[in-house]
Amino acid sequence: MCGIAGLYSPAGTPNPELVDAMRAAIVHRGPDDGSTDVFGRCVLGHQRLRVIDLDTGYQPVSNEAGDVIAVFNGEAYNFAELRSELRGHDVRGTGDTTVLPHLYEESGTRFVERLHGMFALAVWDAPRERLVLARDRLGKKPLLYTRLADGTFAFASELKALLRLPGLARDVDLAAIDAYLALQYVPGDGTALRGVRKVPPGHLLVVEGESETLERYWAPAPAEPSASDEEWLERVRTTVAAAVRRRLVADVPLGALLSGGIDSSIVVALMSQASSGPVRTFTVGFADERYDERTYARAVAERYGTVHEELEIVEDVATTLPRLAAAYDEPLGDEAALPTFLIAEQARRHVTVALSGDGGDEAFAGYERYIAHALAERVPGMAARAGAAAVRLAPSARREPRSALFRAARFLDVAATPRSERYARLMEVFPLELRRELWLESRHAAPVQLDPQAGGIAALQLLDLATYLPGDLLLKADIASMAHSLELRAPFLDHDVVALGLALPDHLKTRGREGKVALRRAFSDDLPPDVAQRGKTGFGVPLGRWFRDDLRELARDVLPTDRGWFRPDTVTRLLDEHEGGSADHGHRLWCLLMLELWVREHMETPALVAA
């Protein structure tokens, strides 16, 4: 696991000192070693976290002639197989990165299709003066790029590195900020800066001179169907188990993040069955029992005899947020970033690699919104609107996001929404009407486009795989873990597992209010009964209480601002309503707070906040 950065100038050799500065900004991604190397018109930088091939796995790596060079962030789990296929090549070392230049020689830009794993990479083809960037199929590893004012092309693992470049166009994209307010992340291939973009998941970007060609090399598609439920369940067992085993290859200590949900519990069960010694597991919890899953995590840890550690978040949250804002150089309003950041810090004290349950909900249809979306079809719009108004008369329907009445009112609101807008409403933090009230210029508020293009649960899974997963969950996990130099691996995001999950018949995805039916049935004997039967809870934090207590002073101090974006009176109203208990705006206030902290931490100069 590493961090990569580089510059390509069609006009001459870029300044290597700029790449040195870029590497310094992401040294946390690879604190074990680093280098900047000049290859004519291209300068490549790399920071290394040693995980495999500890003694000889340094980068950049090249072919025999030294004219095809690669830098790599991630893991190619099938590297041994690829090495054996490269007959006639002098493949140095014993790790994965050294196969890349030779694969490129064999297959050209399509070499990336042969990699099975998580990665962001760059290959410099010196004879053709061609730079090739590629990102893994599902977007587990980030890769950002821009074109500087002088025509130089720049890329890096994190925005922090690009922000070190004096020629970077730094105008904030207010359309992206509006989308962030709606969804808690910046969707698509853009970023919060107009001039910076992301290489999309499953794509490669070929840069030659002034031209940039984006090519898609993979798209999620269902696996071949099975004949019976029993065959489906056996395939789930074998495919997930193979994905876990694939991710146990490491030359450094390895463990697991255990939440108490079925996804991470299955990962720990399969790790324990495949390992010769006890697995190390790490769990985070809260004193507030509504948000605490440690009891379930302990049951799994005890069943498999893991070396188990727990972290309770009891420190002053307000003192932790500046560290979180420093880590996240893109706006992210997912409150689960905080416990993920802290448990990654705890785990890194003991291991270098950790497996997680990320992706289980997308692969096997675990979200309640999939069920809600289908049920909403059966509720007449007029009845839904009347029902929502009636339910909201109860105080808990306005103030307690985890209460049954709050969720019922939200469902009825969604059911009253036109079908084409329904999924967007399920995902929205700030609905369109509230964003229009918030912006000083209401024209900045735009409808969110999240309309599934087909029917059935698979259409919703595909939509989440293309939007929510890379835009939110994978960004959250990568930044939180790599901030502490911890490599995070997600077996449920193996593309074979995803293809299988998409292909499952709907009755093996959801049943009544239960999701992940196939996963529960396939691994029911491997989990404690209380864990196997649990519903979806999510990795939440007590935002409602925090903004009336721990974060109240900070929020009042930081919000509202005079940045010229939002109406101060609207922000003040949200704070007043939340503190007074007439509504729960905890999630919205968190999004506003993290946005403002992002600006202060990473963008705070007059030139950086231009509209």
Rounded distance between C-alpha atoms, residue 607 and residue 357, angstroms: 41
Q: At 611, is the pLDDT very low, low, confident or very high (cuts 50, 70, 90)?
A: very low
Q: Of the residues 2, 233, 327, 355, which is catalytic?
A: 2
Q: How confident is the model at residue 1 (pLDDT cuts 50, 70, 90)?
A: low
What are the tokens at 222?
A: 């269902």
- Identity of the amino acid at 288: D
Write down the pLDDT at residue 562: 84
pLDDT value of residue 187: 96
d(CA 516, CA 593): 34
Spell out the domains of the chain, with CATH numbers in brackets: 2-216 (3.60.20.10), 229-261+271-358+472-532 (3.40.50.620), 542-611 (no CATH)
Q: With CA atoms as reference, report the closest residue to 550 among 205, 194, 288.
A: 288
Residue that wins the pLDDT comparison between 99 and 332: 332
Instruction: Name residue, tokens 């010769």.
Output: 276
- Is 42 among the catalytic positions? no
pLDDT averaged over the chain?
90
302 contacts 260 by C-beta, under 8 angstroms: no
Query: From CA 2, how far away is CA 122, in angstroms rounded?
Result: 12
- Condensed to tens digits (0 to 9), the pLDDT of residues 221-242 reads 999 998 899 999 999 999 999 9
Residue 605 in this model has a pLDDT that exceeds 60: no
pLDDT tens-digit map of 285-302: 887 777 778 899 999 999
Alpha-carbon separation of residue 526 from 168, 275, 305, 469, 534 (angstroms): 52, 15, 13, 27, 14
Q: What is the dihedral of CA 490, 514, 429, 188, to 10 degrees?
A: 40
- Does pLDDT of 551 surpass 60? yes
At residue 606, the pLDDT reads 38
Q: Report how far residue 540's alpha carbon sits from residue 535's, in angstroms, rounded to the nearest whole number.
A: 14
Question: 123 in helix, strand or coil?
Answer: strand
- With a pLDDT cut of 70, the percent of the chain lying above it is 91
What are the respective helix, strand and coil percentages of the chain, to the nearest 5? 45, 15, 40
What's the CA gap between 246 and 520, in Å, rounded?
Answer: 22
Cα–Cα dist 8/28, whole Å: 24
E strands in 19-89: 33-39, 42-48, 61-62, 68-76
Per-residue pLDDT band for 609 (boundaries 50, 70, 90) equals: very low
A 10 A CB-CB count for 12 gives 9
Q: State the residue for tokens 């649990």.
A: 534
**Can you give the pTM of this predicted structure?**
0.93
Single-letter code of the amino acid located at 518: A
Model confidence pLDDT, tens digit, residues 305-342: 999 999 888 767 888 999 999 999 999 999 999 999 99
Extended strands (E) in 103-262: 117-125, 130-135, 144-147, 153-156, 196-198, 203-208, 211-216, 254-257
pLDDT band for position 387 (cuts 50, 70, 90): low
459: confidence class by pLDDT, cuts 50, 70, 90: very high
